[in-house]
């Protein structure tokens, strides 16, 4: 097989000229499509891996070629290099990382391909690379800055993709707010749990996931199976990667719909018996579900969202984690929908044409929930059997 035939069989993705690192050894190869015929790509390498690329050479490429390409197998190297691109806004870096995560998630939801453990392992490996790159970009951002960045990012046709990536970003930011000295490894764990929290939805019919008319009890009971489906997929895939504790990831996937007061699903676990990262994910999931515009309902403002979430403290969400979350959203003063709340039955997975806001009920707060606990907020790589 000659060199061109080999190249023709490879997969490539396009990159912008302003997203190529300059002045350093390039950790990937650059290609161009030399064919002028539509659907007849002919990729030719124009810059070798390991050689520095300088501005004058890049300008020369830009004059000659319409688009640059990188080998799909070098995507992770390309993502890691983004942090070194000078003068590029972080939201642009995040946009590229998000688009790459979309590519991996799409492999899971591709109905034209037969699902396999090989695909699952490949996707999770790619998702980890995306999360590692995202951590590099946003680890010093507070939650309010992350929310503003998310508002600037483009959206895709399938809500589940955008939602999972947004939740991942919020999980990273909230975990960093909880543990300012958190290691990159722990931040990646938090982000990967958020990115994969709805993994089990690949076994839920798309028409149910995207329903604009609400769900029947039977359809909602089907959606409520996705935490179990996700847990089973990780177990059956025998996924193992250096630095990633999949017992923890599995608990995030399985427990992110458990309510703090024990009324959630699938097992009605309560309080600190829900894994810390699952409790973080629950807040991120809730916040993004009501602040991101879907095709079937308008988004709430950050102020209104926090005011409404506060009404669920101690019931749906962890009180202390929410206090940290709220204080890191640019110190917003809550004065919005102060007389409105979402019912305990509200679920971030449930489609609504209009969010089911209700008049606030009078209730007592359990101040014992706010007592300090030793080691609160530390990640447990717990050895006890995963639920």
CA–CA dist 304, 334 (Å, integer): 7
Contact between residue 225 and residue 200 where contact means Cβ atoms under 8 Å apart: yes
C-alpha closest to that of 305 among 328, 326, 324:
326
C-alpha closest to that of 300 among 327, 337, 328:
337
The pLDDT value recorded for residue 377 is: 44
The pLDDT value recorded for residue 353 is: 57
The pLDDT value recorded for residue 111 is: 75
Segment-wise mean pLDDT, segments of 10 residues, the chain, 387 residues: 54 93 95 77 93 96 94 94 91 94 89 82 94 96 93 80 94 97 96 97 86 80 95 91 94 97 96 98 94 70 90 94 91 50 65 59 44 44 41
The pLDDT value recorded for residue 38 is: 59
Angstrom CA distances, 367 to 224, 271, 276, 364, 370, stand at 31, 14, 20, 9, 6
CA–CA dist 288, 307 (Å, integer): 14
Q: Which domains does the chain have, with CATH numbers?
A: 1-74 (no CATH), 89-370 (1.10.3210.10)
CA–CA dist 369, 102 (Å, integer): 38
DSSP string, 5-25: HHHHTS-EEEE-GGGS--SSB
Contact between residue 149 and residue 175 where contact means Cβ atoms under 8 Å apart: no
């Amino acid at each position: 097989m000659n060199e061109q035939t080999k190249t023709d069989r490879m997969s490539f993705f396009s990159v912008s000229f302003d997203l190529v690192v300059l002045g350093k050894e390039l950790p990937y190869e650059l290609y161009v499509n030399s064919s002028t015929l539509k659907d007849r790509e002919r990729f030719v390498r124009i810059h070798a891996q390991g050689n520095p690329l300088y501005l004058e050479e890049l300008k020369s490429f830009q004059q000659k070629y319409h688009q640059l390409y990188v080998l799909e197998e070098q995507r992770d190297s390309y993502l890691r290099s983004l942090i070194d691109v000078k003068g590029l806004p972080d939201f642009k870096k995040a946009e590229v990382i998000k688009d790459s995560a979309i590519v991996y998630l799409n492999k899971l939801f591709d109905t034209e391909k037969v699902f396999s453990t090989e695909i699952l392992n490949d996707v999770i490996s790619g998702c980890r690379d995306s999360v590692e790159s995202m951590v590099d970009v946003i680890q010093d951002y507070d939650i309010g800055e992350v929310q503003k960045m998310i508002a600037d990012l483009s959206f895709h046709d399938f809500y589940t993709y955008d939602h999972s990536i947004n939740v991942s970003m919020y999980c990273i930011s909230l975990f960093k707010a909880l543990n300012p000295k958190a290691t990159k490894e722990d931040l990646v764990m938090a982000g990967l749990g958020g990115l994969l929290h709805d993994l089990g939805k690949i076994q839920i019919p798309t028409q149910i996931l995207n329903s604009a008319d609400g769900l029947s009890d039977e359809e909602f009971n089907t959606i409520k199976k996705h935490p179990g489906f996700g847990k089973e997929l990780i177990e059956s895939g025998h996924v193992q990667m250096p630095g990633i504790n999949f017992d923890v990831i599995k608990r995030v996937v399985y427990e992110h719909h458990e309510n703090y007061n024990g009324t959630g699903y699938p097992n009605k676990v309560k309080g600190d018996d829900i894994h810390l990262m699952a409790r973080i994910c629950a807040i991120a999931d809730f916040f993004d579900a009501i602040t991101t515009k879907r095709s079937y309902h308008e988004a709430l403002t950050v102020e209104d969202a926090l005011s409404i979430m506060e009404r669920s403290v101690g019931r749906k969400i962890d009180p202390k984690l929410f206090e940290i979350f709220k204080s890191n959203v640019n110190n917003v003063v809550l004065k919005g929908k102060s007389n409105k709340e979402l019912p305990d039955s509200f679920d971030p997975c449930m489609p609504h044409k209009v969010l089911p806001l209700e008049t606030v009920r009078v209730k007592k707060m359990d101040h014992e929930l706010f007592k300090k606990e030793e080691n609160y907020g530390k990640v447990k790589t717990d050895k006890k059997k995963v639920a």
